[in-house]
Structure 1
Amino acid sequence: MLFTLLAFAIALGVLITFHELGHYWVARLCGVRVLRFSVGFGKVLARRTDRHGTEWALSAIPLGGYVKMLDDPQPGDDSAMAEQAFNRKNLKQRSAIVLAGPVANLVLAALLYAGLNLAGTSEPAAILAAPPPSSIAAQAGILAGDRITAVNQQAVQSWNEARWQLLDAITGGGQAQLQIETANGLQRERSLQFAPGDVEPDGADLMAEAGLSLAAPKPKVTAVNPGEPGEQAGLAAGDVVIRVGELDQPTAGAMVEEVKKHADQPLSITVLRDGAPTTLTVVPQAQSGQDGQTIGRIGVMLGADFPMVMVRYGLLDSLTRGVSRTIDTVWFSLKMMGRMIVGDVSLRNVSGPVTIADYAGQTARIGFAAYIGFLALISVSIGVLNLLPIPMLDGGHLMYYIIEAVRGRPIPEKWHENGQRIGLGLLAALMSLAFFNDFSRLFS
């Protein structure tokens, strides 16, 4: 729990602080006086005032930050000081300051995605399992062992990249053209037509329902118990099992069941060791199972041998892909919001801080790359959310400025007050829905 809360606090603190830095940087460029930039909320633990008169504060609650600007001139301010007030700036400058926060989040997401592409990540190869006979993939001619090399003319190196390229078609419906390399090394094209998927937070995997899933991994020996049948037969850590008795290319579960059936009976096991096949004979030791039946055991621990690829790009490609991934994520987020509004997608997909904290902890435990990918995704979400035309959000202020540009003068104060009430109500309803969904998942 503590680890999850720490991962969540770091994520939220970094992303919201970067958002506020966007407002700060553009405000300073436009000549607005920034009174305080706080990292965190609540009681101030440390502070320092720079030469521009901005107080930089570190506060007790590390869940974001805020920028306090001089909104209106104060009594007694000279003309130079008065011109540093936010509300004295022209429409373009005020719009740029407000827009800078969400844009900073989108820029950060693009840089994080680019950094992952540049550093490289180890991901499962896009080698497919045999699809169910009635599935979309089977009807398109997909076979076991086929490897996806491109989706809609976009080259992919891994399963993760293939899933991302297919995400829009699978969730919203549409056609996807796959470039396939068969198990025999032949190049083939396959066309798949998807119906709009039923997107639920705890629903079925739409890729698997379409018949697209990773090939089952081969069993891999990860440890051998000293003195037990596996060691006596010559099995070693790192061996990849490709045959057990009469079973060819068995899964780990199938191998375990085959071993159980051969208590005190010789059983041949073929493994790949340093790329070369080696056949060994093991005699499973007879033991009593939980139901009292005699079963065989050989004293080894099994893991999964997934074919992995290192996905890495050069500097220019990484930046280009980072920007492209961010734009695609923004567009996909807006489409999902639109489908929620018209009822095509369940409102249960709206997540709140509890779910986000849970994902922060999970990705942090998986590894640094997964956590960075999570930060990028949440940074896009913060940027998109703040651009929504809801009063009290950055998008609401931009909406006011658009109306001001059309009218040729600022909106009346009464409009502003009513808008604030409406915005507060919408945000309260949204947060209530998010918390309801969070706790429904937590206790279901």
Structure 2
Amino acid sequence: MGDRMTLLATIVVLGVLIFVHELGHFMAAKSVGIDVQRFSIGLPPTMVGFRRGETEYVIGWLPFGGYVKMGGMDDEVMERIEGGAGEGAEEEAGEGVVTQPREPKPGDFDGKPIWARTLVISAGVIMNMLFAYVVYTGVNAAWGRPELAENRVAQVLPELLPPGAEALAQLTSGTRLISVGDRQVSHWGDVQDGFLEAPAGPLTIVADEPRTVVEIDIASDPQERIQVLQGLLYWIDAEVGFLNPGSPAERSGLEVGDRISVADGVAISNWWDLVDVIEDRPDIPMELTLEREGQSLTLSVTPEATAEDDPVTGETVIVGKLGILGPIEELVYSDVSLAQALQLGYAETVGVSRQILGFVRDLFTGGVPLRSLGSIVTIGSVAGQAAESGLETFLRFMAFFSINLAILNLLPIPVLDGGHLVFLGIEAVRGKALSVETRMRWSQVGVVVVLGIMLLAFSNDILRLFGL
């Protein structure tokens, strides 16, 4: 069942998102009068296809991409350069042949102004972003706003608290929040709303286990209110919920479900305690005491040194990482209006976009190792896990991956949409396009780069499969 679910989920995710992306190119091309000769989901060989009007609609056997073949595009260079499609004239020059591109036809891609071509190239990315926004909005409208069922405080970070909120440091680890101002607290969403919506001025926070009453001054500035929430960490059990394949944690023998009680001699009560110990020991061997199926075990592990931005100073620091995530938190759902669902959809789309952009930046600057890249194997594995977790989780994964696809397509690599946009930018500055031969040579370089990245990602997955 698991393998079949993974295969089906992978086909659905790739099929839908590739269709959405290529549909954007197709609709934009039609809207500006460009001839579309082929609309393909998947790559050759052809599984099934039919023709309607000028366009051939095709589904390919290889579900790793798709394309919209437009009139006169450089990808079909033999139709554009004299001697290939038999249009135009050849002019000999010494021992070689100088090829002259024919004049574009009215329905050709290159026959349209730069703004129209930019729209067509950008449309796939735009559609992927719109798809993610619609899915996030729909999920929030259908299921409601997901809230953490937890109302316990794990840690207070005084260095993140704004002036006037310092008294929150009196809250001890494990204490349950009962009320924030006039709002009674049953889950973490109530905590967030209590701090964000309270009137400016004195604010009383009541906690239990142990009984604590804290008085703070809440500012009117929304950013300072967000700082208050950033300084309060909600409770997560110190349990392994996910292992990154090939990570130090997996190599050490850690398993999903292990509950850590001691890390390098430090007693651990919650997830954040564990994170603190691990991050303080980059490339330093340490021991973990854990409980597994009622038995106590001790494992040795060495956190991997990783560069990341300090949340307080913004400076790049080196911290330890094991490659684990905490357990899946229990959620409750709050009903939202359509207007609120639209706002939540926008917030999730922007938040995920920033997260992925940060990962890409760190990948190029060395902040995250190249071993973090995953191929279709990783995509399929995560898609399968998301599908088994339920429709809501699966839809959220599709939205996340749609944004991922959009951002990666904007990388300035020839053959990707970002590379085509670079060519159009050069044309706008120069006042004329690069020659077809130049664009094709750069496109060949782009193919090599993309294939190299795919090979690296696939190699990473193979190494993870064997625990290397």
What TM-score bracket applies, with the shorter chain setting the length? 0.5 to 0.7
How far off is 1:33 after superposition?
1.0
Q: TM-score, normalised by structure 2?
A: 0.60
Query: 1:348 is matched by which residue type in structure 2?
Result: R
In structure 1, the residue matched to 2:136 is 113
In structure 2, the residue matched to 1:24 is 26
Count of aligned pairs between the two proteins: 327
In structure 1, the residue matched to 2:344 is 321
**How many angstroms apart in 2 are the aligned matches of 1:87 and 1:329?**
35
CA offset digits 1:272-296 (Å, max 9, x no partner): xxxxxxxxxxxxxxxxxxxxxxxxx
After superposition, the Cα gap between the structure-2 partners of 1:203 and 1:26, relative to the gap in structure 1 and judged at 3 Å, is farther
Structure 1: 5+ residue stretches without partners? 163-178, 195-199, 214-252, 258-303
Structure 2: 5+ residue stretches without partners? 74-79, 88-103, 162-167, 193-203, 217-227, 234-242, 250-259, 261-269, 276-290, 296-326
Tell me whether 1:365 sits opposite 2:404 in the alignment: no
> Does the 8 Å contact 2:18/2:41 carry over to 1?
no
> Does the 8 Å contact 2:43/2:60 carry over to 1?
yes
Percent of aligned pairs with the same amino acid: 30
After superposition, the Cα gap between the structure-2 partners of 1:400 and 1:120, relative to the gap in structure 1 and judged at 3 Å, is same
Tell me whether 1:192 sits opposite 2:217 in the alignment: no
How far off is 1:104 after superposition?
0.7
How far off is 1:35 after superposition?
1.2
In structure 1, the residue matched to 2:272 is 210
Q: Map 1:335-346; keep pairs closer than 5 Å.
A: 335-346=358-369
How far off is 1:324 after superposition?
2.4
How far off is 1:352 after superposition?
1.3
In structure 1, the residue matched to 2:428 is 405
CA offset digits 1:121-157 (Å, max 9, x no partner): 565414336459999999784531445999xxxx997
> Does the 8 Å contact 2:159/2:231 carry over to 1?
no
After superposition, the Cα gap between the structure-2 partners of 1:398 and 1:44, relative to the gap in structure 1 and judged at 3 Å, is same
Q: Map 1:228-377; keep pairs closer than 5 Å.
A: 308-377=331-400
Which piece of structure 1 moves more, 113-122 or 183-192? 183-192
Tell me whether 1:97 sits opposite 2:127 in the alignment: no
Which piece of structure 1 moves more, 419-428 or 90-99? 419-428
How far off is 1:384 after superposition?
0.2
After superposition, the Cα gap between the structure-2 partners of 1:332 and 1:181, relative to the gap in structure 1 and judged at 3 Å, is farther
Query: 2:25 is matched by which residue type in structure 1?
Result: H
In structure 2, the residue matched to 1:33 is 35
Tell me whether 1:182 sits opposite 2:207 in the alignment: yes
> Does the 8 Å contact 2:154/2:272 carry over to 1?
no
**How many angstroms apart in 2 are the aligned matches of 1:212 and 1:127?**
20
After superposition, the Cα gap between the structure-2 partners of 1:338 and 1:142, relative to the gap in structure 1 and judged at 3 Å, is farther
How far off is 1:419 after superposition?
1.9
In structure 2, the residue matched to 1:261 is none
How far off is 1:337 after superposition?
1.6
> Does the 8 Å contact 1:404/1:411 carry over to 2?
yes
> Does the 8 Å contact 1:141/1:190 carry over to 2?
no
After superposition, the Cα gap between the structure-2 partners of 1:157 and 1:131, relative to the gap in structure 1 and judged at 3 Å, is closer
> Does the 8 Å contact 1:117/1:311 carry over to 2?
no
Q: Secondary structure at the match of 1:101?
A: helix
Q: Secondary structure at the match of 2:407?
A: helix
Query: 2:231 is matched by which residue type in structure 1?
Result: L
**How many angstroms apart in 2 are the aligned matches of 1:94 and 1:88?**
9
> Does the 8 Å contact 1:158/1:309 carry over to 2?
no
Which piece of structure 1 moves more, 128-137 or 380-389? 128-137
* Of 144, 154, 165, the match for 2:174: 144
How far off is 1:203 after superposition?
6.7
> Does the 8 Å contact 2:46/2:58 carry over to 1?
yes
* Of 3, 7, 14, the match for 2:9: 7
How far off is 1:193 after superposition?
10
How far off is 1:116 after superposition?
1.0
* Of 424, 436, 445, the match for 1:422: 445
How far off is 1:437 after superposition?
1.9
**How many angstroms apart in 1 are the aligned matches of 2:433 and 2:130?**
30
CA offset digits 1:316-341 (Å, max 9, x no partner): 22122212221222222122221222
> Does the 8 Å contact 2:157/2:232 carry over to 1?
no
Q: TM-score, normalised by structure 1?
A: 0.62
In structure 2, the residue matched to 1:175 is none
In structure 1, the residue matched to 2:288 is none
How far off is 1:2 after superposition?
2.1
Q: Secondary structure at the match of 1:36?
A: strand
Q: Secondary structure at the match of 2:231?
A: strand
After superposition, the Cα gap between the structure-2 partners of 1:2 and 1:398, relative to the gap in structure 1 and judged at 3 Å, is same
